[in-house]
Structure 1
Amino acid sequence: MGNGFACMTKKDAKEITGTRSNRVGNRSKRKILGDDELLHRQVLSMALHQSQRLEGSMSRRFNGGNTSSRRRPLSDPFSNGKQLAEFLEGLKCRRIVLIHGEGFGAWCWYKTIVLLEEAGLLPTALDLTGSGIDITDTNHVTKLSEYSKPLIDCLQNLPDDEKVILVGHSIGGACVSYAMEQCPEKIAKAIFVCATMVSNGQRPFDVFADEFGSAENFLQQSKCLIHGNGKDKAPTGFMLEKQQMKGLYFHQSSAKDVALAMASMRPIPLGPVMEELSLSPKKYGSCRRFYIQTLDDHALSPDVQEKLIRENPPEGVFKIKGSDHCPFFSKPQSLHKILVEIAQIS
């Protein structure tokens, strides 16, 4: 489905890293992208290693390897196989599509993927255009429609009678909103995880105005802008400095996850985040929306998230205490529990 991968098993990692050169298509491109290829292989190897450790722990817990009588973690809503079977039987939608935020890729969801699969759900993580291991130059991604194309392709390729639950993180929320307007009939629920749940006519960047200032000032004064078409031309993207990124996004995340992110984050295309969204009550408004707040978030403060909720009220609001802007790293169990809870809402 699109450019994503559903779970990083050993086989999947080999397929992802082994087939990318085939996608490039010629020797000159392989030479140009040689350094990126090595970097992505290292990143996927790190993610695979951590995923295997987590998967082993989860397998012991579900397969009877741990006979302790201690209370089960809150993230596990099923105390036995019967409850799991009843949960799955009662679900109308099991497929969950995970959409990353700015600079991230499908790789950031590796913990969430394992947990959702253990719960019997069907997660798919997508790389948006120019993100993750997608080879598109971010300087050439100028519109939200281009940036969101892997998601729209994924939805349009679904069987006629199938819907999905969309989960969008940060600016990925704008892609979810765009998809709700384009393909509302394919979306069972939309979940915004500390995301830009914008209103009609609003730009995704505007949500971050408290941190970065107005879009006009940012474009004139920011030192993290990228001029892919030359210094005398309009900027095409931006990339935060590593220390700034750590403070904004990862201050509650583990050192290993921060290292993974620092090795794999990519520049953010500027056009899509500066584009006003056109959202209609008939299409966008027909989809069920839920919001997950992160209460120790430095990139999108709890106050800003509250403002988004007030201005564009969703059906339900959930909160994760102690989470930075990346709950899939800092609070994966809590995030998983909420995703499962929302999936169960009839």
Structure 2
Amino acid sequence: MESGGGGGGKHFILVHGLSHGGWCWYKVVARLRAAGHRATALDMAASGVDPARLHEVASFEEYSRPLLDAVAAAPDGERLVLVGHSLGGLNVALAMERFPSKVAAAVFLAASMPRVGSHMGITIEEFMETIEPGFFMDSETMVLNTEQGPRNAVLFGPNLLAAKVYDQCPAEDLELAKLLLRPGSQFMEDPMMKDETLLTDGNYGSVKRVFVIAKADGSSTEDAQRRMVDLSPGAEVEEIAGADHMAMLSKPTELCEVLLKIANKYD
């Protein structure tokens, strides 16, 4: 999903979280376009309407390929604002490491924000340590047989979505998610997720990072979100009151205001 804006506008590339697709950004895309900017809402591999099946995606890099290709294809001189939601923060981090000169700022929306010196998967490990048994409620967990070996995957259940993910969203958006969600994987078995040397100060660490706290996130406390910031020196913070985990759907106008503020600051 790509929308054009007027000349001189910013270009935002929006990356969804686990099991979602570019469709979840539809309200934000419309608002950014109305404000005269470009917005590209991508589907990662085997997500949204991407034709691949999850068991066919060999690695986290392959899963991230739509984003890496989009950033690589950006014209010289066009500096992007990358926005990653939830797991999408790790896709954005990889793009920052590969193409730091093309990224004006990276926004982590209630997202996994890794840090230099630690492997990317630690953000997921730390989250899993904080949740209570039964957190995933009626979600379906599965093991995929892939050419690389077994891979864990999950499909979020409707009760989980209603209680902890879409709890401040309009009912229509919850129903949309029930129709469009696909099984997702965090690729924790991938060696890339365990590589402590992957992210470097010179590349990833050189890009401006802003963490956006969703203050009413039912899947992650505000304290947990702030701890991620505390572990990432140099990251700035914005916050959105009343935003659940799907802030792009529960508080799209407020999120767009934050995104435009960040884009204007780091032109």
TM band (smaller chain): 0.7 to 0.9
**Structure 2 gap ranges (5+):** none
Of residues 251, 254, 259, the one that matches 2:170 is 254
Number of residues paired by the alignment?
A: 252
Q: Give 2:203's aligned amino acid.
A: K
Q: Give 2:202's aligned amino acid.
A: K
Partner of 1:332: 252
Partner of 1:284: 204
The sequence identity of aligned pairs, in percent, is 31
- In 1, Cα distance between equivalents of 2:202 and 2:28: 32
Q: Using the TM superposition, give the Cα deviation of residue 207 of structure 1 relative to its aligned residue in structure 2, in angstroms.
A: 4.2
* Aligned partners of 1:184 and 1:283 also within 8 Å: yes
Partner of 2:2: 6
Partner of 2:119: 201
* Aligned partners of 2:139 and 2:155 also within 8 Å: no
Q: Using the TM superposition, give the Cα deviation of residue 156 of structure 1 relative to its aligned residue in structure 2, in angstroms.
A: 1.1
The 5 A counterparts of 1:313-328 are 313-328=233-248
Return closer, same or farther for 1:244/1:183 CA change in 2, 3 Å cut-off: same
Of residues 41, 54, 57, the one that matches 1:138 is 54
Once the two structures are superposed, residues 227-264 of structure 1 have per-residue CA deviations (whole angstroms, 9 ceiling, x without a partner) of 2329xx73441112221122121110010010011110
Structure 1 vs Structure 2 CA RMSD: 2.4
Q: Give 1:276's aligned amino acid.
A: K
More moved, 307-316 vs 330-339: 307-316
Partner of 2:99: 183
Partner of 1:301: 221
Q: Give 2:181's aligned amino acid.
A: M
- In 1, Cα distance between equivalents of 2:234 and 2:158: 33
Of residues 213, 226, 230, the one that matches 1:310 is 230
**Structure 1 gap ranges (5+):** 9-84
Once the two structures are superposed, residues 143-180 of structure 1 have per-residue CA deviations (whole angstroms, 9 ceiling, x without a partner) of 22111100000111122222211001000000001111
TM-score for the superposition, normalised by structure 2? 0.87
- In 2, Cα distance between equivalents of 1:261 and 1:339: 23
Structure richer in strand, relative to its length? 2
Return closer, same or farther for 1:270/1:190 CA change in 2, 3 Å cut-off: closer
* Aligned partners of 1:172 and 1:195 also within 8 Å: yes
The 5 A counterparts of 1:38-117 are 94-117=10-33
- In 1, Cα distance between equivalents of 2:229 and 2:186: 25
Say which SS state the counterpart of residue 291 (structure 1) adopts: strand
Say which SS state the counterpart of residue 269 (structure 1) adopts: coil
Q: Give 1:318's aligned amino acid.
A: E
Return closer, same or farther for 1:345/1:223 CA change in 2, 3 Å cut-off: closer
* Aligned partners of 1:162 and 1:186 also within 8 Å: yes
- In 1, Cα distance between equivalents of 2:175 and 2:234: 34
* Aligned partners of 1:139 and 1:236 also within 8 Å: no
Return closer, same or farther for 1:189/1:103 CA change in 2, 3 Å cut-off: same
Return closer, same or farther for 1:314/1:329 CA change in 2, 3 Å cut-off: farther
Q: Give 2:179's aligned amino acid.
A: A
Return closer, same or farther for 1:273/1:314 CA change in 2, 3 Å cut-off: farther
TM-score for the superposition, normalised by structure 1? 0.68
Of residues 44, 48, 52, the one that matches 1:128 is 44
- In 2, Cα distance between equivalents of 1:330 and 1:273: 33
- In 1, Cα distance between equivalents of 2:49 and 2:265: 34
Once the two structures are superposed, residues 25-55 of structure 1 have per-residue CA deviations (whole angstroms, 9 ceiling, x without a partner) of xxxxxxxxxxxxxxxxxxxxxxxxxxxxxxx
Is 2:161 aligned against 1:245? yes
* Rg larger for: 1
Q: Using the TM superposition, give the Cα deviation of residue 304 of structure 1 relative to its aligned residue in structure 2, in angstroms.
A: 0.9
Structure richer in helix, relative to its length? 1
Q: Give 1:342's aligned amino acid.
A: I
Partner of 1:153: 69
Q: Give 2:216's aligned amino acid.
A: D
